[in-house]
Chain A
Amino acid sequence: MESVIALFVPVDREEPLGRSLVEQARDGSRAAFGQLYQQYSRMVHGVLLARVPHSEVEDMVQDVFLLALRRLQSLRDEKAFGGWLAMIARNQAIDYHRKAPKITELKENMLQEKPPEPEALEVLDTIRGLPDAYRETLILRLVEGLSGPEIAIQTGLSPDSVRVNLHRGMKMLREKMEGRAAT
C-alpha cells in the first residue's frame, strides 16, 4: 500500500500565486506543492463542480492534484500553472463521464455531512445548464468564493474575459431563476 503524508500548510493569500512555489514543487518540495494545493484547490473544485456530481468532487480534487504532481516536470511555463491545472481538472471531468458507473456509490462522508440544501442543488443545476464559459466562472465566484481577479489569475483567463463571463452569466442566471419562479 502506498504511504501517504498529509500536509497542512498555511496559506499566504498575498503571495504572488504560482511561480516560486511551482519551481520548488518541481524540485521535489512537497511543502511547496501543499501550498499550491491550498491556493488552487478551490479553483479545481469549482472547475470540477461545474461538470461532475457534487458528491464526487472532493475526491476528484485530490486526484487532479496527484495527477498534476506526477506531471509537473512536463510543465514548461510555470506561469501557466493555473491554466494547466484547470485543464487537467476539465480533462478529469471528461474522463469521469467516460468511465463513471451510472450508479453513484454511497460514500462514508455523505452520511457524516449535513446534506446540501435542496435549493442550493437546484441553483447549482441551473448554473450547470448555462454555457461552459459562464457556468465555470459563476461557480468559482458564487460557490468557491473567488473574486473575479482571482479567477483570472488561477484559471489563466484574461480579467476581461472573466468580467464579461461573470456579467453575462449572472444575467442569464437571473433570467432562468426568474423564469423558473414564474412557473
Chain B
Amino acid sequence: MNEDYLWDKSGEPDPDVQRLENLLAPLGHKSDKAPVLPFPKRSRVPYLLAIAASLLVLSGPLWVAWQRNRPAWNVATTEGTPSLTRLAKGESINTDAHSQARLNLNDVGEVEVEPNTQLSVLAIRPDEQRLALHHGTIRALIWAPPGRFIVNTPSAQTVDLGCQYTLNVNTDGVGLVEVSVGWVAFEDKGRESFIPAGAACVTRPGKGPGIPYYQDAPKELIDALNRFDADSDRPAIAAILANARSRDAISLWHLLRRVQPDDRAQVYDRLSQFIAVPAGVTREGVLAANPQMIDSLWNTLDLGNTSFWRMWKSRGPK
C-alpha cells in the first residue's frame, strides 16, 4: 500500500485507494450546490448610534447652556485634589484623605466637606436644599430660613433650623450631629430628636435618632444614654436618672417618650424635679403617654415650642 498517496495523494496512486475514491466520490458533498444562508439582518446599532451622535451634536450648546444655568452649589477646593467647581442635583463629591472642599449656595449657606467624605446633592429648590451624607464629615453654616436645609444620613434626616453644626457618618452608617449654634432636628420614621446648641445626638441604622445630650454632660450619663439607645438597656435607665443634671432635662424629656410604660413613671418623676410642671399636665396623663401633655413639658425647657421643632413635617416624607 502506498502510504504517501493515502496520506496526501502524492506519489504513485494506490490502486485500492483510487478505486474506492472513484466509487465513493458520488456520495460526497455536491460542492456546486450553493449554501443557503439567512439574509443578513441589518443591525440597528449603527443607526441608533448615528441618531444619538446627531442629537448630541445638536443638543450640545443647549446642554452647556442648561448646565451653566442649572442651580448648583459652588465648590471651592480648600485642600487636595477635588476639581469640581459646581455640584448640581444628582452629583456627588468625594474627598480623599488629603482633600477638603467648601460648598456655597448664596441664599442657603456654606458646607465644608472634610477629608474622606462622600456627599451628594439630592435636591436644589427654593423651598428645599437636600444633601445626602453617605460617609465622612461636613460642617454646615446655614443662613437659609429654618427647615429648608436637610441632610439625609443612612439612618435619619437632619433638618437645620437655623444653625451651625457638624455632622459625621461613619462607615457603619452611624451618624453623630454636634450643634454649635441654633437648633437641629433629627427625624426618621416618626422618631424625632430635638438638638439645641451645645448638644449632640447619635443616629443608628435600624434604630433611628437617639436621645440628645449636652456635650458637657457627665460621661456616665452619656454612656448610659448610648447603652439605652443601642440596646434598649433597661438598667441604663437608672444610671441616666442618677446622673442627670437639671440641664439634662432635655435628655429626660426624650427618654420619657421612649421608655416602656412600666418605666415611664420613674422618668417623669425625675424630670418633674427639674422643671415646673405646667398647668393642665397631670402625672396620670403623662404616664398614659398623652402627646399634648408631653409636648407641654418640652415647652417649659426654654428651647422653643414643639411646633417650631416640627416644622419639617409640613413637607411630608422624603
Chain A interface residues (CB < 8 Å from chain B) = 2-8, 28, 30, 33-34, 37-38, 41-42, 44-46, 49, 54, 57-58, 61-62, 65-66, 69, 114, 116-117, 119-121, 123-124, 139, 141-145, 147-149, 163, 166-167, 170, 174
Contact = CB atoms under 8 A, between A and B. Distances in A.
Given A4-B36, A65-B37, A147 B7 contact: yes
Contacts of B16: 174
B30 interface: yes
B269 interface: no
Contacts of B235: none
B7 A148 contact: yes
B34 A8 contact: yes
Nearest to A162: B7
A42 B6 contact: no
Contact of B8 (A54, A69, A148): A148
A143 B28 CA distance: 5
Nearest to A49: B27
Contacts of A5: 37-40
A62 B28 CA distance: 15
A3 B34 CA distance: 16
B21 A142 contact: yes
Contacts of B9: 147
Given A3-B39, A41-B31, A170-B17, A120 B24 contact: yes
Contacts, number: 105
Interface of B: 1, 3, 6-9, 16-17, 20-21, 23-31, 33-40, 43
B124 to A, nearest CB: 45
B35 A6 contact: yes
Contacts of B35: 6-7, 34, 37-38, 41, 62, 65
Contact of A69 (B20, B24, B30, B38): B38
Given A123-B20, A145-B21, A117 B26 contact: yes
A157 B40 CA distance: 32
B29 A61 contact: yes
Contacts of A142: 17, 20-21, 24
Nearest to B24: A143
B30 A38 contact: no
A61 B7 CA distance: 25
A163 B4 CA distance: 10
Contacts of A141: 6
B120 to A, nearest CB: 39
B27 A4 contact: no
Nearest to A127: B24
A66 B37 CA distance: 6
Given A42-B28, A143-B25, A163-B7, A7 B34 contact: yes
A148 B20 CA distance: 16
B307 to A, nearest CB: 66
